[in-house]
Amino acid sequence: MVTETANIKVNRPGASKSGEILVDIRGIKKYFPIHKGLLSRVVGQVKAVDDVSLAIRQGETFGLVGESGCGKSTLGRVILRLQGATEGEVVYQGRDIHSLRGQELRKLREEMQIIFQDPFGSLNPRFLVKDIIGEPLRVHRNLTAKQIDERVVELMELVGLDASRRNRYPHEFSGGQRQRIGIARAIALNPKFIVADEAVSALDVSVQSQVINLLMKLQRELGLTFLFIAHGLNVVRHISDRVGVMYLGKLVEVGETETLFAEPLHPYTAALLSAIPKPVPGRKQERIVLQGDVPSPANPPSGCRFHTRCPFAQERCSQVEPQLVEAAPGRQVACHFPLQPGTAMA
Amino acid sequence: MAEKLLEIRKLTAGFLTENGVVKATDRISLSIDKGQTVCLVGESGSGKSVTSLAIMRLIDYAGGMVMEGNITFRGQDLTTKKQEEMRHIRGNQVAMIFQDPMSALNPVFTVGEQIAESLRLHQNKNADEAWSMAVDLLRLVGIPAPEIRAKQYPHELSGGMCQRVVIAIALACNPEMLIADEPTTALDVTVQAQILDLLRKLQAELGMSILLITHDMGVAAEMADRVAVMYAGAIVEEGPVEDIFNQPSHPYTVGLLQSIPGFEGERGGELYTIQGTIPPIGQLPSGCRFHPRCPHATEVCRQKEPPEFMIGADHRASCWLYEDKPVHIGDDHSSREEVKPAW
């Protein structure tokens, strides 16, 4: 693989702009080995996340979008150290969280939390709701049963649940309510940073809007910073301050939500945006229909990973891998031939 | 005047349970013309899928039954047919595609064999003929190198390709109607765009009618000629696609459209929400089924179930608001971007 220049190595989206950086992701790689044969020899690697750098600012919502298999969930998990990184570091409050041990790591867990996608799979069906929400308090705080109960009531009211139902099991709640239980659990320890991994994707529209409103309210009231991972672009547009687009393990474009959606620079971003069916009948939109499927991350294409599906690919795209470079203030794109603002395809 | 292909009249379908009869669809009426696309939209549990199973009479195998009403397809009533007769109609005249392409295909047969199977069963083709037709069908649904792909197993194909195979199976016997139950829900947006394009192209070429079941209002806006909105087992509003989106009339439709995070609208504002959740079908409220969540509910809504009122020439809604005068509660599109509803 040929890299273009070495001097743009430290180019973390967001790092240059004002606003204190809360989580600084530097050159994160996460490879999964592919085992084969009787001796389980490693025959290859799935490059789920391949050299992603990104700075998340205090108090913002950073949206991460991309299609299934692009590595967005893996990145979210590596940022929380739910999985180790193959390479790179995640700096939180001046320290790489992947080097923390023991008490320090335990302390960190209080400050970073996650909300999962599946409101059915992420709650233990044999736990009462008060035990699910109270569990982080029992693990991390030295509280009496009465204090825990008071906090559970407080949390349930905060997320809009009827606290008198805390002695019930998760199956007695609807999907939207369960997602609220998951949110209450995530905020129980007053975290600073929350990764919401497809937190509203499994919900129906009318319930989805309730949960989105709740997340935004909590962010305002508790001063949370969100990494909002989703494939639903209109949800991401609504909730995020900045957005990063991933394709096959790489970050291909980063920018402020408004400008990125209005004037995508990367052809993949443009195609992704044009693919969303809009609830307006009779408007036959110009759509860029990408050919084929996402290639396998075990064997990504040479050069630009998108060149096999890109309508504008040229010779150079299959040979030289484009780096994520600053295209405008606060705007990064990894493309040799970015679209010109104003001449967007759609 | 277009020819009616399918007409559903006051269809009630449901299940017998320990706690009595549960009506998954409650006296719904809907008709589909030849070559038309009708979208059935609604949230989970609204009875969309049961409707499609009832049309195919597959509900009999799912432990349920058609309790009341008629389903007239090309002049014949499907509700009185024996399963044996239905077997000739299914596949040959009405075909169905399902949500999850991976589980709709049999993992131990090649995709070519699975397409050829329906040709052998329904059209009495011999093995060679069926195989070459299967390859042609794969080409028709846009699979590159169909000769090679036909010999592959479902796990060797991506989700989008599998859905194309499922569509090829459905099209194998030239059905006049295709029922597509959430055909793109399991797929990524760029692949969804491919599949929707394919369905539109095939419809133009083959002239079939499509009943498309979806929860995505965007998909409905793009594909439908007519839209029927289902809520808790009933069709609460039905009409031409422009009317449904530009003048939504039932408070549920209005709420559903306003809950969608706007693509062009204001970012970061509070989203409109419909309070509460959809009731379980066994525990419907009295009167109008939507009244506990409705911002317009009045006394009559709590007591009496609303009949259908005509809003426009071809546009109906089941809501007491329209009892004697046409009222306009839905905003037209230009003002739908506003965060607060007009009322």
What is A17-64 written as a DSSP string?
SSS-EEEEEEEEEEEEEEEETTTTEEEEEEEEEEEEEEEEETT-EEEE
Average pLDDT value over all residues in chain A: 88
Asked if pLDDT for residue B102 goes beyond 90, the answer is: no
| CB-CB under 8 Å, A238 with B262 | yes
Other beta carbons less than 10 A from residue A209's beta carbon:
26
| CB-CB under 8 Å, A216 with B268 | yes
Each domain of chain B, given as residue ranges in start order, spans 4-108+157-224, 247-336
Chain A contacts of B194, Cβ < 8 Å?
A: 289-290
Q: How many residues does chain A have?
A: 346
Best to test chain A binding among B271, B294, B331 (most A CBs inside 10 Å): B271
* Number of alpha helices (DSSP H) and beta strands (DSSP E) in chain A: 9, 14
Q: B55 phi and psi, to 5 degrees?
A: -60, -40
Beta strands in B170-325 (DSSP E): 177-181, 209-214, 226-231, 234-240, 309-312, 315-317
CA A22 – CA B228 distance, rounded (Å): 48
Chain B contacts of A226, Cβ < 8 Å?
A: none
Asked if pLDDT for residue B340 goes beyond 80, the answer is: no
Best to test chain B binding among A201, A238, A259 (most B CBs inside 10 Å): A238
CA B284 – CA B287 distance, rounded (Å): 9
* Number of alpha helices (DSSP H) and beta strands (DSSP E) in chain B: 13, 12
Ranges of H-type helices in chain A: 72-79, 102-111, 129-140, 145-158, 175-187, 205-222, 233-239, 257-262, 267-275
Where is mean pLDDT largest: A156-160, A282-286, B309-313? A156-160
Chain A contacts of B217, Cβ < 8 Å?
A: 205, 279
DSSP B117-155: HHHHHHH---HHHHHHHHHHHHHHTT-SSHHHHTTS-GG
What confidence tier does B264 reach under pLDDT thresholds 50, 70, 90? low
Measure B224 CA to nearest chain A CA, in Å: 8
Nearest chain A residue to B267 by CA: give it: A238
Instruction: Give the model confidence (pLDDT) of B239-260 as tens digits.
Output: 999 999 999 999 999 999 988 8
ipTM for the whole complex: 0.79
Instruction: Give the model confidence (pLDDT) of A288-330 as tens digits.
Output: 878 777 888 888 899 999 999 999 999 999 999 999 999 988 8
> Is 3.40.50.300 the CATH classification of the domain at B4-108+157-224?
yes
Chain B contacts of A275, Cβ < 8 Å?
A: 189-190, 192-193
Nearest chain B residue to A283 by CA: give it: B222
| CB-CB under 8 Å, B218 with A278 | yes
Tokens of A338: 């970015």
Question: What's the confidence (pLDDT) of residue B316?
Answer: 94
Best to test chain B binding among A73, A205, A226, A289 (most B CBs inside 10 Å): A205
Among B294, B326, B328, which Cα is nearest to B310's?
B326
Q: Please tell me which of the candidates A204, A235, A275 has its beta carbon nearest to residue B189.
A: A275
Instruction: Give the model confidence (pLDDT) of B32-56 as tens digits.
Output: 999 999 999 998 888 999 999 999 9
| CB-CB under 8 Å, B268 with A239 | yes
Measure A107 CA to nearest chain B CA, in Å: 32
Give strand pairing partners of A91: A24, A96
Among the CATH numbers 3.30.460.80, 3.40.47.10, 3.40.50.300, 3.20.20.80, which is that of A59-76+102-333? 3.40.50.300
| CB-CB under 8 Å, A210 with B273 | yes
Instruction: Taking the CA atoms of B310, B311, B312 and B314 in sequence, report the sign of the dihedral they define.
Output: negative
| CB-CB under 8 Å, B219 with A207 | no
What's B281's DSSP letter? G
Question: What's the confidence (pLDDT) of residue A285?
Answer: 62
Question: What's the confidence (pLDDT) of residue B236?
Answer: 96
pTM for the model stands at: 0.84
Instruction: Give the model confidence (pLDDT) of A9-19 as tens digits.
Output: 344 454 444 57
| CB-CB under 8 Å, B191 with A277 | no
Higher pLDDT, residue A159 or B262: A159
Find how far residue A266's CA is from the centre of its chain: 19
